[in-house]
Amino acid sequence: MTSAGAAATVMPSTSVSAAATAIHARFRVAWPGFALDADVQLPGRGVSALFGQSGSGKTTLLRCLAGLERAPGGYLSVRGEVWQDDARGVFLPTHQRPLGYVFQEASLFAHLSVRRNLEFGMKRVAAAARRVSLEHAIALLGIEPLLERMPEKLSGGERQRVAIARALATSPRLLLMDEPLAALDARRKAEILPYLERLHDELDIPLVYVSHAPEEVARLADHLVLLDGGRVLAAGPIHEVMPRLDLPLAHGEDAFVVIDARVAAHDEAYALTRLEFGGLPLWITGLDTRIGAQVRARVLARDVSLALSERHESSILNVLPARVVSLDEADAGRTLVRLELGGSAMLARITRRSAVQLGIAPGMEVFAQVKGVALLR
Amino acid sequence: MSAADFAAIRLTLELAAVTTAILLVVGTPLAWWLARTHSRLKGVIGAVVALPLVLPPTVIGFYLLVALGPHGPVGQLTQALGLGVLPFTFAGLVVGSVVYSLPFVVQPLQQAFEAIGERPLEVAATLRAGALDTFFSVVVPLARPGFVTAAVLGFAHTVGEFGVVLMIGGNIPDKTRVVSVQIYDHVEAFEYAEAHWLSAGMLVFSFLVLFALYSRKRGVTR
């Protein structure tokens, strides 16, 4: 246990070896009508999303990580500490695991005020192990005005913010969230997402986030574990997993890639902002970002078309040189093209006819016309 | 009212208080187990707990008399422990009342525990609370209305018992003669005025208790 309170919150995780920071989970459960067979390594920092349809086993996997579900023969180590190793008879019950868990629906204790809910977990953690102060958790989630209220007097979004703060106040070494936004409407979701991003940016606590919503994953995740029917279909950094043509993600209507970029300049006259990634410019509308800030942008596959020359009379702002990496023609009438540009992958979904007429083939140099870029954070 | 009447009232309240206290201590873990278990024994134990609801008190009293008596298994045990035999003593009455009022305490508690569900327990575990800690800091406060209902019903039902008392307590002044037995005695002796006083008292008491209980319940859901 570290003794200094404030110093530990900014623990430099780069100096720790990769093996010690990683989360390694191996669980196999077989229930009537459902089976989970997962062996995953997650990074010891940042946000890992467990992504999949309902019934894919993502919540079960999360519950196994928490010890709420007991998978016989399972194994789990978190940043060098073994929490479960049934082969050696090790199983830490949930209440002995230094984790925070946010459930899908509001799970505040109805008999306790917001403040006492927050204190519930914190006061059960030894003083020496407290690295996140109650004040910090309250400030991070912006719940100062709610402290004296009872849970029944809060909106769904407020309850979820309190639940997140309550989990944080236990100074967890691992934060687990089971679709914390799923029960909320779009406005409440939008209200909470910025707070989740702040956790990501300000705390050195790995977050495992279960979701079936691509837009949440796009905004939050650094690492993606794609689950299907209780099995791990793919796992890796989001930049690598999203553009993979062999996965169902790339074939969805809303297939996208995320691009991490830097805010380079503002064009006040046209109210445009120039982002830069891998030496390439990417223009977006609006001026509300700080120059130099790191941002994440999402580009949908259906918003990218291809041209053979740059000089193409068009209203499209972003025309970028790209190289064709691979093609996929699995979907009728459509060709999915994986591009590489500025060191990033991008997907373009074009019609089969266009692909044939332009003679698109791997290795070819083309220009990607990007019709829309959404700034995620 | 006579001194004997007041003695009967005092004894009745004492019996109900002791019985309720014991029932809360015994009934809470039993109700918790019934609410949480997936054991096949659940049906059997649940049925045994509910038996006093349907059996004539004389049946319960009879078997208790046999079991607690000098030749019964419990009687043998109490004698071996130097406690003597329990029938026709206050202690015997307490044992009988505990058995007789058991479902009135266990069932409201069980329902209250079941209504809490799994989630608050899981939440407490993720907030570092162990099982016992969770029980006292989460379950008991959340099940508070169930505890109040259980205590009130257990107390009121014990006050209202007659058959079991008569079977294993008999009719010994200051030791086992409770209000219901005293009323019986008055009626047998054609002392209707005295019987009225006590009966009306019981009626008013029972009504007030139930009225308070049901008014409170409505207030909660409102």
Give residue limits of the domains in chain B: 3-39+85-221
| A327-354 pLDDT, tens digit each | 998 888 899 999 999 899 999 999 999 9
pLDDT band at A10 (very low <50, low <70, confident <90, very high): very low
Task: Confirm or reject contact between B129 and chain A (CB < 8 A).
Answer: yes
Mean pLDDT is highest, among A279-288, B24-33, B206-215, for B24-33
SS (H, E, C) chain A: CCCCHHHHHCCCHHHCCHHHHCEEEEEEEEECCEEEEEEEEECCCCEEEEECCCCCCHHHHHHHHHCCCCCCCCEEEECCEEEEEHHHCEECCHHHCCEEEECCCCCCCCCCCHHHHHHHHHCCCCHHHCCCCHHHHHHHHCCHHHCCCCHHHCCHHHHHHHHHHHHHCCCCCEEEEECCCCCCCHHHHHHHHHHHHHHHHHCCCCEEEEECCHHHHHHHCCEEEEEECCEEEEEEEHHHHCCCCCCHHHHCCCCEEEEEEEEEEEECCCCEEEEEECCEEEEEECCCCCCCCEEEEEEEHHHEEEECCCCCCCCCCEEEEEEEEEEECCCCCEEEEEEEECCEEEEEEEEHHHHHHHCCCCCCEEEEEECCCEECC
Please state the CATH superfamily assignment of the domain spanning residues B3-39+85-221 in this structure.
MetI-like (1.10.3720.10)
In the prediction, which pLDDT does A364 show? 95
pLDDT at B77 over 70: yes
The string of pLDDT tens digits covering residues A299-329 is 999 999 999 988 767 888 899 999 999 999 8
Query: How far does B45 lie from chain A, in Å, by closest CA?
Result: 28
Categorize the per-residue pLDDT at A8 as very low, low, confident or very high, splitting at 50, 70 and 90: very low
Nearest CA in chain A to B129: A95
Predicted confidence (pLDDT) at residue A19 exceeds the cutoff of 60: no
* pLDDT computed for residue A102 by the predictor: 96
Give B-chain residues touching A99 at CB under 8 angstroms.
126
In the predicted model, is pLDDT for residue A287 greater than 90? no
CB of B130 within 8 Å of a chain A CB? The answer is yes
Q: Do A100 and B124 touch (CB under 8 A)?
A: no
pLDDT at A310: 82
Q: Do A95 and B122 touch (CB under 8 A)?
A: no
Full-model pTM? 0.85
Average pLDDT over residues B33-60: 94
- Asked whether residue A183 carries a pLDDT value surpassing 90, the answer given is no
Tokens encoding A140: 């991070």
Q: Mean per-residue pLDDT for B22-37?
A: 96
Q: Do A101 and B124 make contact, defined as CB atoms within 8 angstroms?
A: no
User: What is the average pLDDT across B169-181?
Assistant: 88
Residue A23 pLDDT greater than 60, yes or no: yes
Q: Which residue has the higher pLDDT, A149 or A309?
A: A149
Compute the nearest-CA separation of B130 from chain A (Å): 6
Task: Identify the pLDDT of residue A268.
Answer: 92
Indicate if the pLDDT at residue A187 is higher than 90: no
Please indicate whether, in this complex, the C-beta atoms of B126 and A100 are within 8 angstroms of each other. Answer: yes
The partner residue sitting opposite A107, judged by closest CB among B119, B130, B142, is B119
Q: Is B53 on the interface with A (CB under 8 A)?
A: no
Model confidence pLDDT, tens digit, residues A215-227: 889 889 999 999 9
Nearest chain B residue (CA) to A122:
B127
